[in-house]
């Protein structure tokens, strides 16, 4: 079962990355470079804010995962510049590194966590930015909520045909591929199937607002003494990690 999940994820994210590459190449060929002032309509600006708030969380995960600053910097720059192409490439790379034994146990946990992660448990009582992280994502959620309300008030509904320019369509595809990646994490950490579906629907409908709410909710399940990386895990795995920390 776990092995088939790993294979499915490799195929799925490889295909999604390829789709985004084709979308990018096609859009460049039919609509030119995106660095043009006329493309920054109010709804394109709002979509980019939405997109990059999700990128903040993905970049934070990369920052946690990578062991040296050079690889961290490279991956984060690629995330900012190429969006979901980088997200898919990074996930596939992590899947390729997956040891056979781990692929039979809990591959999602292995992909999400830095390895070895004993150091995280040992450091958890020395420094924990849980409160700071809560504040950051509350602020980001409020920023996106304000952006959404302001754009609706000043530019009307987003459901208008004239808004669907080639670069807007490409940006939305980019955005929703990242949403798929986030949905895998949400499904993994949700306590029930119903809860997973509920949050994934919110992610699809409200984008980074739902992302921020879900992250903050998960952070409030942690104590101020817990390491922030526990937010990546299911509740039962968090309990196990805390138990390991008390033994250390």
The pLDDT, as a whole number, for residue 56 is 97
Nearest partner of 12 among 232, 169, 180, 171, judged by Cα: 180
The pLDDT, as a whole number, for residue 191 is 84
2 burial (CB, 10 Å; 0-12 / 13-18 / 19+) is middle
The pLDDT, as a whole number, for residue 245 is 46
Q: What is the overall mean pLDDT for the chain?
A: 88
Average pLDDT over residues 216-238: 87
70-89 per-position pLDDT tens digit: 999 999 999 999 999 999 99
For the chain, the structural domain boundaries read 2-117+126-247
Between CA 166 and CA 44 the distance in angstroms is 11
Average pLDDT over residues 18-28: 98
109-158 per-position pLDDT tens digit: 888 888 755 444 444 444 568 999 999 999 999 999 999 999 999 999 99
**pLDDT range class, residue 202, cuts 50, 70, 90:** very high
In this structure, how many other beta carbons lie within 10 angstroms of the beta carbon of residue 63?
13
| CA angle 202–180–102, rounded 5-degree value | 120
- Residue 109's Cβ-side half-sphere holds a number of Cα atoms within 13 Å equal to 17
**Is the pLDDT assigned to residue 60 strictly greater than 70?**
yes
Top pLDDT among 202 and 103 is at 202
Rg (CA), the chain: 19
Top pLDDT among 129 and 51 is at 51
Top pLDDT among 2 and 159 is at 159
The pLDDT, as a whole number, for residue 247 is 32
Cβ–Cβ < 8 Å for 57, 182: yes
Between CA 24 and CA 173 the distance in angstroms is 10
The pLDDT, as a whole number, for residue 158 is 93
Between CA 227 and CA 245 the distance in angstroms is 10
30 burial (CB, 10 Å; 0-12 / 13-18 / 19+) is exposed
Top pLDDT among 85 and 97 is at 85
210-223 per-position pLDDT tens digit: 999 999 999 999 98
The pLDDT, as a whole number, for residue 207 is 96
**pLDDT range class, residue 103, cuts 50, 70, 90:** low
């Amino acid at each position: 079962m776990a092995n088939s999940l790993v294979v499915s994820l490799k195929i799925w994210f490889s295909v999604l990355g390829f789709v985004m590459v084709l979308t990018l190449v096609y859009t460049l060929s039919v609509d030119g470079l995106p660095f043009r002032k006329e493309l920054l309509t109010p709804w394109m600006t709002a979509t980019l804010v939405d997109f990059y708030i999700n990128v903040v969380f993905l970049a934070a995960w990369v920052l946690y995962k990578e062991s040296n600053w050079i690889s961290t910097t490279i991956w984060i720059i690629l995330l900012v510049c190429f969006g979901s192409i980088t997200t898919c490439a990074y996930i596939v790379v992590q899947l390729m590194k997956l040891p056979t034994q781990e692929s039979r146990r809990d591959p999602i946990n292995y992909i999400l966590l830095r390895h070895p992660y004993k150091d995280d448990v040992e450091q958890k009582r020395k420094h924990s930015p849980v409160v700071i992280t809560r504040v950051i994502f509350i602020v980001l959620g409020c920023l996106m909520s304000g952006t959404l309300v302001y754009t609706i008030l000043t530019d009307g509904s987003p459901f208008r045909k004239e808004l669907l320019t080639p670069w807007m369509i490409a940006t939305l595809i980019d955005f929703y591929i990242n949403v798929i990646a986030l949905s895998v994490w949400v499904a993994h950490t949700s306590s029930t199937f119903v809860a997973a579906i509920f949050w994934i629907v919110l992610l699809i409908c409200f984008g980074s607002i739902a992302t921020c709410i879900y992250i903050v909710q998960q952070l409030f399940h942690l104590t101020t003494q817990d390491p922030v990386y526990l937010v990546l895990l299911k509740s039962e795995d968090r309990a196990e990690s805390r138990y390991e920390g008390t033994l250390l």
